[in-house]
Structure 1
Amino acid sequence: LLAARTGSAERTFTSAHPALHLRLEDGSRLAAVAWTTPKPHVVIRRHRVRDVDLDDLVGLGTVDSVLAGFLRAAVRAGKNIVVTGLQNAGKTTLIRALANEFDPMERFATIEKEYELYLHDLPARHPRVVALEAREGSAEKDAAGHRAGEVSLSDLVVDALRLNLRRIIVGEVRGPEVLPMLEAMSTGDGSLCTLHARSASHAVDRIVTLCLSAGVHMTDTFAYRLLAGSVDLFVHIELLTDGGRRWRFVSQVLEANGLGENNRPATTTVFGPGPDGRAVPLHRPSSLADLVRAGFDEHLLDHRYGTWATSLDGAR
């Protein structure tokens, strides 16, 4: 019944299409599989933190005041940021917090498989956001294998590029939409996206792999060049679990510095894991002057061990 609902959230869930990914009315995400398993399996993910900013994340122990100041300035300076992490690490929450540093009158787009950011539900913060959601289409396919009525993330990124927007946020890059997303970053100002990756450095190769999968005439050399000219920062968020306890925190920030040796992007580890894994300042970024102009206090980077308010045992 849920899959058969009319409207933009309609999805096909049959023996011919045995996987379902659906946005529920309360904003939760439902994932289900059937027919390919002995019994159906359903998972519902709820996002409890929607209206959140970087100061809130300091209170939650996700970032410290040094990281908050750095990321706030990076957003205001128009840096293109890729947030990386494993499933449930808190990538979406961090993207929300970064987006809430936008000027309220900025026009920008959110592009998602299913609505998850819900920035369009915060009119006081984002009165001019353009929220776009992909459409799966019907079970019927044309000669090229496309579903009738399907609107993909790639389609939406291309559409957004024509809307005279300053920024684009892609909820999660995981397929051919990586190419138009990198194009948007290379020509735009301060776009954001999330990427499933084990580390910030792993994200570089993940993006190149996605580019090679998406482009018929793509080469790894061109993919690395495209990446180096598009992304400014990789921010990695970590999830640690111990029994029933969970800790979410930023562990690494890499700055991309164009092409380096072997035609691979050169990177600087601005923040790296400290003694307990949480990010601490390591090196000055090459874009420090841009960040200072955007309000960053460069002396915050003198805090060798950061300014984390609690021990890891006290951070949730």
Structure 2
Amino acid sequence: MRRRSLLLAAVPAGLVTLAGCGDDSSGGGKSGASPSASSAPPPKIVDGPLPAVTAGKEFGEKPTVAKGTGDPSKNLAVRTLIAGTGRTLVENDFVRADYLGQIWDTGKVFDNSYDRKRPLVIQLAQGSVIDGWRYALTGKKVGSRVEIAVPPKWGYGTSGNAQAGIKGTDTLVFVIDVLESFNSKSSVHGKPVAQDPALPKVGTNTDGEVPKVTVPKTDPPKKLVSAYVLEGDGPKVTADQTILCQFQGLVWDGGKTFQRTYGSGRLSQFGVQQMEQVVKGLAQGLTGKKVGSRVLIVVPPDLGYGDNPPSGGAVKKGSTLVFTVDILAAM
């Protein structure tokens, strides 16, 4: 199993469960956290001191960072090393980023995503990521490289993070490459693929609005169907990954929506392996599909809820399920 990011070890990403869904056409699943506003005032942001980046100075390269000298600031130190020109990040956005983290006093690297070749996907929201990241990245642009020094108050607090070897007195230094950002109006922008007329027809709009799905008035297929509607050019999703997506779920009989994120003001983030325990066909249908794609997945009852559907909703015993999923990112 691949090693998970230590940055979020104490704050696991939220999962969309699909387990208790009723007739909820607007509130598809949980996103990463949806925390309430913090009662503490935001940190003062200063431009240093910050240790020098001594190698790997280009955007996307694994950096080497010098050990901190002298005492670090008690405030949050933030410096843009490379200014991007993409979308400006706002709080509650999801960000895909590569990063390296080390301890100020020792220069010891405790985590980095470059070696894993799997950027982090995280929401800039209270409770989803350490506050130093949340405050430092808000207002930055996609394509930026940002260096920050995070005192304990805005990192792991006085308890530190034993798993990462971080003490409660350690100031943390990060170099972060902001690769992409996503919000509740994000859609994929893949290449349209010819659709099978025997299957539900799915809209190809890329404006963040819910794609229209027209279910044919015929018997559903008996086996799992997973087909591209818009084919992206990203890496293929693997079973051990967590994906960030827009999705909707309908029942074949009558085409009624039972759950969706499109238009709800949120995204969904879930582990493919965890989804295997809830709706096996959805997990299987996503595995192997490319990031940046819209996928139509038709799930027969034996790979869906079978004879144990959620109570009080559109899904009944023996329902065939229809999903459209925009795979925005994977981690």
TM-score range, shorter chain: under 0.3
Structure of higher CA gyration radius = 2
TM-score scaled by length of structure 1: 0.25
Higher strand residue share: 2
Greater relative contact order (CA < 8 Å, ≥ 6 in sequence): 2
Higher helix residue share: 1
